[in-house]
Chain A
């Protein structure tokens, strides 16, 4: 099992540019979560999907952030335009909503730096 795959692992961009982060969940998992980790705020849930449908996006900081899940094996988190305060590590996690529904498996993260 390849685990949750995220790309890119590192992203450096200039303020105002569009950034797209990608995630491939574990095959067979039907829930997907996007988190942001910063020193100041710790780990925050941004949005989660169940069966490709966004269930809760209350953690999305503002309209500059958007997330999609066009199919069961792919999701994107987009920031447009990016700002320096968006610099953080972004994690994707997936889980199976049957059995042990709350066991989330995390990807390695994408470290985003906005200059």
Chain B
């Protein structure tokens, strides 16, 4: 069955440091992949998506992600983290036409 794994439940980084959040997927065909961010008490906001083409995709808020088929990964990166980036991040894959399957999420803490 198609699935998404986010191996890190919590990550803490210093403000200004670089960030990488890991996502691995299990899917036979070329996947449609997403990263969403959820701030406390809020809904999910789409950061970026990968459908096809260039494997490095740019998103909002300075985030980017790289699709690596050989590693079944779609890791999210940001070169310099801001305190406002503290939130929970979800990786997701489309299955069965129109359904999103989400990973368990990674909580990002930013220390000053």
Contact = CB atoms under 8 A, between A and B. Distances in A.
A105 B49 CA distance: 13
Interface residues of A, number: 24
Contact of A45 (B43, B100, B104): B100
B90 A43 contact: yes
Classify chain B's interface size.
20 to 34
Given A42-B104, A102-B49, A56 B99 contact: yes
B108 to A, nearest CB: 16
Contacts of A101: 98
Given A103-B46, A107-B43, A109-B43, A48 B98 contact: yes
A76 interface: no
The 6 A-B residue pairs with the shortest CB-CB distance, nearest first, are: A106-B43, A43-B102, A106-B44, A108-B43, A102-B94, A42-B104
Secondary structure of the A contact surface, majority rule: strand
A4 B42 CA distance: 12
Interface of B: 32, 34, 36, 41-46, 49, 51, 90, 94, 96, 98-105
Contacts of B43: 4, 91, 93, 106-109
Nearest to A92: B43
A82 interface: no
Interface in A20-49: 31, 33, 42-43, 45, 48
Contacts of B32: 102
